[in-house]
Amino acid sequence: MKHRIVVLGAGYAGAFAAGNLARRLSPSDIEITVVNAVPDFVERMRLHQLAIGQDLALRKLADVFAGTGVRLRLARVTGIDPERRTVAVTGEDGDGELAYDTLLYALGSSVAHHGVPGVAEYTFDVTGRSSALRLRERLSGLGEGGTVLIVGEGLTGIETATEFAESRPDLSVALAARGELGAWLSPKARRHLRRAFARLGITVHEHTGIEAVEPARAIAADGTSIPADVTVWAAGFAVHPIAAAGGLEVADTGQIVVDGTMRSVSHPDVYAAGDCVYAIGENGRPLPMSCASAGFTNMQATAAIIARLTGSEVPTTGLKYYGNHISLGRRDAIFQMVDRDVRSRSWYLGGRTAARLKSGVLKGAGWGVAHPTFGMPKRKRRLATAPDRAGVRVAA
């Protein structure tokens, strides 16, 4: 019987991981199934562009995995049972169950409401394609002078605000920040960011925590009312509670607690990658939810899975966070390096050069997903075997 590998999620982490596993392991020994709720690959890093009216190329997952040997199951994951090694799903074919021998959990994250009244009912977000398209439709109906408020001063909030202001100069765009705008950046990069906001006419409400959202305004902690025809919530991410509900050990964030190889500390047949993993970086701190972290963790998870299945020594991938790359519209960006303690270095790259670099990163990630196996090699690794607890020989 073939060793069954099930990958949950086909985002940046899941799609890359499935392709890497298919490229390096023999199809005579394994079968790989990817479970994803939607038929297309979602370029999450570019959803703010989609929301403001720019068109993104659609990549059908069926085409992405065609000829790779990877099976695609279009369904939503509703639960996992790591004791029985099964995943519950629901889709067009109804409810079902998938059995696995090795599970790679890469379901990512969604917007975090933080329990703020009105967020679920009245705000928009750019954490998924459907939500970005919903926002796109709303923005297309806003005429000149329409007001848009982005809540959150992180990377998503900054990129969304600048993209909207550049693409729709007829709108009045504002950003609400709990602290100082770009506080984590070096002084020079912070000045660059502020110049970009001034150039684009973005109003910044610093030290302004939003405590409630209503249909046409947001209310700050001090009672200040900020008018907004559209409020975009970009105040953080949250993971789905499926992992915790299934009995996997999770952190307070709900992320799966793993060892240095991205293997669950409570269930050794489960690995995790991307936003849903609680992984400790080289500096002793949890990796942030980011595309860069998705790359590090999926490479480590797949390398560990392949090594253990083939009886090889498990390699380790450096989990070092190098910095932030922030788009400021299509023609400007900031690349800020950080030190071991995630403090900004004095050097940064800005302007068109940084924008071209960011564009190259996005195109490279898109190409990698479109070519998940990077060309199928003729020689693939066979699985080793070892007795399991019951004495039956199974893949190691």
Amino acid, single-letter form, for residue 149:
L
pLDDT 10s digits, 75-104 = 999 999 999 999 999 998 889 999 999 999
> Of 14-18, 171-175, 243-247, which gets the smallest average pLDDT?
14-18
- Which whole number is the average pLDDT over 222-242? 96
Long-range contacts at 192-195 (CB < 8 A, ≥ 24 apart): 192/334, 192/348, 192/350, 192/351, 193/158, 193/326, 193/328, 193/334
pLDDT band at 378 (very low <50, low <70, confident <90, very high): low
Query: What percentage of residues in the chain have a pLDDT greater than 90?
Result: 76
Structure tokens at 112: 């975090």
Q: Contact 345/186 with Cβ under 8 angstroms?
A: yes
Within its chain, how far is the Cα of 124 from the centroid? 18
Of 218, 204, 190, nearest to 344 by C-alpha is 190
Backbone angles phi, psi at 268, to 5 degrees: -65, -10
Q: Contact 287/296 with Cβ under 8 angstroms?
A: yes
Per-residue pLDDT, 387: 38
Q: Quickly list DSSP for 234-265.
A: -S-EE--THHHHTT--B-TTSPEEB-TTSBBS
Of 256, 38, 215, nearest to 117 by C-alpha is 215
Q: Quickly list DSSP for 262-323.
A: SBBSS-TTEEE-GGGEE-B-TTSSBPPSSHHHHHHHHHHHHHHHHHHHHTPPPP-------E
Backbone angles phi, psi at 256, to 5 degrees: -75, 125
pLDDT band at 238 (very low <50, low <70, confident <90, very high): very high
Backbone angles phi, psi at 111, to 5 degrees: -65, 140
pLDDT 10s digits, 165-217 = 999 999 999 999 999 999 989 999 999 999 999 999 999 999 999 999 999 99
With H, G, I as helix, E, B as strand and everything else as coil, classify residue 360: helix
pLDDT band at 390 (very low <50, low <70, confident <90, very high): very low
- Which whole number is the average pLDDT over 130-142? 97
Amino acid, single-letter form, for residue 219:
I
Q: Does 18 score more than 80 pLDDT?
A: yes
Of 304, 309, 249, 247, nearest to 277 by C-alpha is 249
- Cα 306 from Cα 313, distance rounded (Å): 10
Strand partners, 124: 232
- Cα 91 from Cα 62, distance rounded (Å): 16
Structure tokens at 228: 């907004």
Dihedral sign from CA coordinates of 183, 184, 189, 193: negative
Q: Quickly list DSSP for 100-133.
A: -SEEEE----EE--TT-TTHHHHEE-SSSHHHHH
pLDDT band at 371 (very low <50, low <70, confident <90, very high): confident
Q: What is the DSSP letter of 180?
A: -
Per-residue pLDDT, 355: 95
Beta-carbon count within 10 A of 331 CB: 11
Buried b (16+ CB within 10 A) or exposed e, 228-253: bbbbbbbbbbbbeebbeebebebeeb
Q: Does 392 score more than 70 pLDDT?
A: no
Strand partners, 7: 34, 104
Structure tokens at 357: 């670099």
Q: Contact 243/109 with Cβ under 8 angstroms?
A: no
Per-residue pLDDT, 379: 61
**Residue-averaged pLDDT of the chain:** 91
pLDDT 10s digits, 333-361 = 999 888 776 678 888 999 999 999 999 98
Size of the chain in residues: 396
**What is the value of pTM for the model shown?**
0.91
Beta-carbon count within 10 A of 167 CB: 18
Q: Contact 15/107 with Cβ under 8 angstroms?
A: no
Of 215, 262, 254, 260, nearest to 238 by C-alpha is 254
Per-residue pLDDT, 247: 97
DSSP H or E segment with residue 173: strand 172-176
- Cα 256 from Cα 277, distance rounded (Å): 5
Structure tokens at 213: 């959202």
